[in-house]
A and B are shown apart, each in its own frame.
Chain A
Amino acid sequence: MNNAAADPALFSTETVREVVSKIIEFKERIFGIDQKNGVVKIRIHRDVLPYIAQRLAIMGDIYLRTMVASDERSLEGVYKLYYVFGVDREHTNIVLEVALPQEEPRVSTIVDINRASDWYELEAHDMFGIEFLDRKLYRFVLPGDWPEGVHPLRKEYSVPDLMKLYRPKAIEYAKEIGAESIVTIPIGPYHPALHEPEFFELYIRGEKIIDTRYVGFMVHRGIEKLGENMKYDQVPFLAERICGICGFVHSTSYCQAVENALDIYVPERASFIRSIILEIERIHSHLLWIGVALHLLGYDTGFMHSWRIREQIMLLAELLTGSRKTYGINVVGGVRRDIDSDKIKKAIDVLKHVEDEFRKLIEISVNVPQVIARLRGTGILPLGEAKALSLVGPTARGSGLNRDVRRDYPYAAYKYVSFRVPVYNEGDNLARTLVRVDEVFESINMLYQLFDKVPPGDVRAESWSVEAYRLGIGSVEAPRGEVIHVVVTGEYSPYRWRVRAPTYQNLPAVPIMLKDADLADVPLTIASIDPCFSCTDRAIVVNIGSGTIKAIPMEVLSLKGSKAIG
């Protein structure tokens, strides 16, 4: 490592200086440190990764934001892993870049040091065939009948190749399952607005949960591979279709990553418009969630009212962007659609109306004794666990972990408005609900400020040029937590594009919340992290006492508890 780079005094922030001084003992194994746009990139040898991760882990305020594996064999003959750590209070990302030779892509695991890395390692194993030593690796993201040894994100496979290689045995498989239809209900209730096709196995004794296992990734659609074959300006539209509820955060996050990598200047007016749409999306998403949560509690009146109020926000989104959902107005370097003063006036009227109605709804529904009784003290997540798992969003803020990307890594127009980040310390379902309720009011308040301050000017950077193989990070506070996209630029399209949605980070917390919980509280507790998925879902309950297995609709479980098992 070159000595000038190692001088801690050269780094802008205190924590980064501390990190550098702590890892200096490995300087033989550190190949370079550079700093740009709030990203500190440290290139290290794979042998020292666990030691450095250990040093970062004991520093407390540093958490794992994402890990990206990338196939760079055609460039340098290596696979690369980028571990992105965040330092909240200093608006800085620390990226550990680890190169793995292509002959033996192996590295030791850091899952025992940083539990949040568990899924990232499994995914890198599936998609790139990278071996993580000293841990159990199993098929995680890809379908069960995917051919061994085919790792779809490796560059040698194109999408048509993969389609040829992978002849799904879907038909036989479907028939097979049909034959053994001993399981009670064919497919659980598709529970709209709650779950992506996903599935929890609950192990119970009597009425109490002993353990929970998550089986998911039903919605693996191969997005990252598709993105690598698209032009820069096409990807935002793809990104927006990652999630229909909070799609705009994905396209914004992607655009920010590219802008960060290529130093593209986004006009101020464009960043205001992005912030406005992001906040509108947050209000619609939170109203949706509050409705669904009330529905799961059996308080359907609240559900209906919440959705009635939400409809006005949908119409507002249509007024401003042209569509109710999947707005499609983001492009790299700005937005495609401007907002005029007439629309602003209408929008403010709608917001005032929504604010009044929502306040009335909350005053009533949060005072219903049954609602409070079901929310308070259930699904407790302690602060320590929230920190250890690097949780994000309202889930973390409900456990007293004060983390919000809008404040910690300011983007778009959030530095021009004042807002409060609601934090509750109880860590139960009530705390997570109240965080979201407060956030709706904060968002409305923020929108008044944003509409008031929108500056004149262009909405889109005129032109920009691509420089290949640069790393960019873009993160956005989605309604569910932090979304982070990492882009390695290519000549015509992103060379590697990594998406990390908040639910990916938050789901591992569910087994902790469910430990020793009552069966009837399970659906609400799972919902309380606001898992961004839609439905296909049922719970399998394994009764350890009698050894029976039964599939039960979520809703029935919520209302009847263990009586539903019969």
Chain B
Amino acid sequence: MTQPLSEETNSKGVDLKKTLSRIKRSVWVFHINTGSCNGCDIEILDVLTPYFDVERFGIKLVASPRHADLALLTGPITIKTFSKVYRALSAMPRPRFVLAIGSCAVGGNIWFESYSTIGGFPKALEMFSEMGLEIDGVIYVPGCPARPEAIIYGAATLLGLQKPKTVYRRFKA
């Protein structure tokens, strides 16, 4: 699933196409756990190790968000980690992309209505836009935990190698 990348330029006038073409060479990723159960995290690690080996696509895990193009975000975002997610994402250079991995990040999963979680990345995204932090593109990878193949598919969608299966839309209940 994907949230369409905003057309041509975003509000601040950054030329997305140009920046995306830069990003196509090699994507560096930074991994953020926001209170996930580790299930998705070990699948991410699985993707990086020999069996699935995404380094063949140039995707590399880096230790600092300042070096990253893409954040791999797992977990339902607990209240305690929210501020840290904000800091990590705002440290990323533009254009910044997020791959929200696993059912928790997609919509809160089983923690949807717990008192100590925000309940998924879409809700956090609203809070970020209130706070003035722009995210240039979000790809959602569902699954509990998301399968390694799905994570690779998500990354390929971001790079424009694959078409997204569905487009994320929120309905007010």
The reply to whether A174 and B131 contact each other, CB–CB distance below 8 Å, is yes
Query: CB-defined interface of B66-97 with A at 8 Å, one 1/0 digit per residue?
Result: 10000000111011111110111011000000
Does B171 touch A at the CB level, under 8 Å?
Answer: no
The reply to whether A187 and B84 contact each other, CB–CB distance below 8 Å, is yes
The reply to whether A186 and B88 contact each other, CB–CB distance below 8 Å, is yes
What residues of chain B lie closer than 8 Å to A303, measured between beta carbons?
49
What residues of chain B lie closer than 8 Å to A222, measured between beta carbons?
111, 114-117
- Contact A143-B79, Cβ < 8 Å, known A197-B33, A243-B37, A326-B145: yes
In the complex formed, the residue of A with least CB distance to B48 is: A192
What residues of chain A lie closer than 8 Å to B34, measured between beta carbons?
197, 536
A109 to B37, CA, bound (A): 32
User: How many residue pairs bridge A and B at CB < 8 Å?
Assistant: 186
Q: Interface stretch among A160-168, A343-351, A458-466?
A: A160-168
A536 to B74, CA, bound (A): 11
A454 to B126, CA, bound (A): 52
Does A311 touch B at the CB level, under 8 Å?
Answer: yes
What residues of chain A lie closer than 8 Å to B65, measured between beta carbons?
186-187
The reply to whether A168 and B87 contact each other, CB–CB distance below 8 Å, is no
What residues of chain A lie closer than 8 Å to B40, measured between beta carbons?
244
The reply to whether B115 and A159 contact each other, CB–CB distance below 8 Å, is yes
The reply to whether B38 and A170 contact each other, CB–CB distance below 8 Å, is no
Does B46 touch A at the CB level, under 8 Å?
Answer: yes
Query: CB-defined interface of A274-305 with B at 8 Å, one 1/0 digit per residue?
Result: 00000000000000100100000000000111
A242 to B76, CA, bound (A): 12
A218 to B82, CA, bound (A): 10
Query: CB-defined interface of B131-144 with A at 8 Å, one 1/0 digit per residue?
Result: 10000000000001
Query: Which of A143, A218, A555 gathers most chain B CB within 10 Å?
Result: A218
What residues of chain A lie closer than 8 Å to B87, measured between beta carbons?
174, 177-178, 181, 186-187
A546 to B30, CA, bound (A): 32
The reply to whether A173 and B83 contact each other, CB–CB distance below 8 Å, is yes
- Contact A326-B80, Cβ < 8 Å, known A178-B90, A222-B114: no
The reply to whether A219 and B86 contact each other, CB–CB distance below 8 Å, is no
Does B63 touch A at the CB level, under 8 Å?
Answer: yes
What residues of chain B lie closer than 8 Å to A308, measured between beta carbons?
49-51
Number of interface residues of A (CB under 8 A): 64
A314 to B49, CA, bound (A): 14
Query: CB-defined interface of B1-39 with A at 8 Å, one 1/0 digit per residue?
Result: 000000000000000000000000000001111111111
What residues of chain B lie closer than 8 Å to A382, measured between beta carbons?
none
A535 to B49, CA, bound (A): 17
- Contact A159-B63, Cβ < 8 Å, known A175-B131, A307-B46: no
Query: Which of A178, A247, A305, A535 gathers most chain B CB within 10 Å?
Result: A535
Query: CB-defined interface of A303-327 with B at 8 Å, one 1/0 digit per residue?
Result: 1110110010010000000001110
In the complex formed, the residue of A with least CB distance to B83 is: A174
What residues of chain A lie closer than 8 Å to B131, measured between beta carbons?
171, 174-175
A366 to B110, CA, bound (A): 41
A243 to B145, CA, bound (A): 11
What residues of chain A lie closer than 8 Å to B84, measured between beta carbons?
186-187, 197, 536
Residues 118 to 148 of chain A near chain B (Cβ within 8 Å): 142-143
The reply to whether B50 and A244 contact each other, CB–CB distance below 8 Å, is no
- Contact A189-B116, Cβ < 8 Å, known A174-B87, A238-B110, A534-B38: no
A154 to B100, CA, bound (A): 34
Across the interface, B64 reaches (CB within 8 A) one of A189, A218, A243, namely: A189
Does B98 touch A at the CB level, under 8 Å?
Answer: no
In the complex formed, the residue of B with least CB distance to A173 is: B83
A532 to B91, CA, bound (A): 28
Does B118 touch A at the CB level, under 8 Å?
Answer: yes
Does A10 touch B at the CB level, under 8 Å?
Answer: no
A503 to B49, CA, bound (A): 26
- Contact A241-B78, Cβ < 8 Å, known A174-B83, A197-B35, A307-B45: no
A42 to B36, CA, bound (A): 38
A291 to B110, CA, bound (A): 30
Across the interface, A244 reaches (CB within 8 A) one of B39, B88, B110, B116, namely: B39
B44 to chain A, nearest CB (A): 6
The reply to whether B113 and A160 contact each other, CB–CB distance below 8 Å, is yes
Give me the 10 closest cross-chain CB pairs, A-B, nearest first. Answer: A244-B39, A174-B83, A307-B49, A162-B115, A244-B38, A189-B63, A244-B37, A174-B86, A222-B114, A311-B51
User: What are 27 A-B contacts defined by CB distance under 8 Å?
Assistant: A143-B80, A152-B115, A166-B115, A168-B118, A171-B130, A177-B83, A186-B84, A186-B90, A189-B63, A193-B41, A196-B33, A217-B80, A219-B78, A222-B111, A225-B115, A237-B110, A242-B37, A243-B37, A245-B38, A247-B37, A247-B39, A291-B49, A303-B49, A304-B50, A308-B49, A535-B41, A553-B63
Q: Report which B residues bind A (CB closer than 8 A).
A: 30-46, 49-51, 61, 63-66, 74-76, 78-84, 86-88, 90-91, 109-111, 113-118, 127, 130-131, 144-145, 147
Identify 13 new A-B residue pairs, CB closer than 8 A, beyond the known A174-B86, A186-B65: A143-B80, A171-B131, A187-B32, A193-B45, A197-B80, A221-B111, A225-B114, A226-B111, A241-B37, A244-B37, A247-B39, A308-B51, A535-B41
